[in-house]
Chains A and B, each alone.
Chain A
């Protein structure tokens, strides 16, 4: 069962981003390629390092972040 889950994760290229908690991270696909403490710094790095590709960026949730607060109306 554990091997099956591992195979599925490899197929879908899921990467654990726990290491980057609290940081702004740039991804190519789902692979982290650059990170910084704030968005402006990250975007400056991305523009220098990735001339042809367009990474996607996000702020990684803190480890203690409560995700039960995601409903908005």
Chain B
């Protein structure tokens, strides 16, 4: 079974499990580092990413998302994505109100095609195709 390893990103004393993922929309594409967040139901990305892709994201399905720091509005789209050579469609919510810098990969549906292991000792994320 093919596996992909991504070292955690270090910022000062903090480590973050991020993976590389490519988003495609029409003829545009961008490869991003995004945080794998098993607590997040949805994948939530920054509005700058949609703007760069030329995606009119406010035409998507309106959702209100709850986090510890409050409620934000976002718009859901289904985009073609590539992770580790595997192409599939991923639901992504874009929001201008996202209060964190990270693009967030949540369980619905980034986690569905993969088996994901967080190796805290070795500071890496291991992803296998499910």
Contact = CB atoms under 8 A, between A and B. Distances in A.
Contacts of A8: 122-123
Nearest to B33: A58
Interface in A4-28: 8-9, 12-18, 21-22, 27
A47 to B, nearest CB: 11
The winner among B9, B103, B122, B123 for most chain A CB atoms within 10 A is: B9
Chain A residues touching B, majority SS: loop
Interface residues of A, number: 36
A33 interface: no
A63 interface: yes
Contact of A66 (B20, B37, B41, B69): B69
A72 B97 CA distance: 13
A66 B100 CA distance: 7
A69 B30 contact: no
Interface stretch (B42-50, B84-92, B110-118): B42-50
Contacts, number: 114
Nearest to B39: A71
A43 B30 contact: yes
A22 B11 CA distance: 12
B40 A59 contact: no
Given A61-B102, A70-B68, 14 more contacts: A12-B124, A13-B7, A14-B9, A38-B48, A39-B51, A40-B48, A63-B12, A69-B68, A69-B99, A70-B67, A72-B40, A72-B66, A72-B106, A73-B42
What 9 A-B pairs are tightest by C-beta distance, nearest first? A69-B69, A12-B7, A58-B33, A61-B101, A59-B101, A72-B65, A39-B48, A56-B20, A56-B31
10 contacts: A14-B15, A15-B10, A17-B9, A18-B12, A54-B22, A56-B31, A58-B32, A61-B100, A70-B37, A73-B40
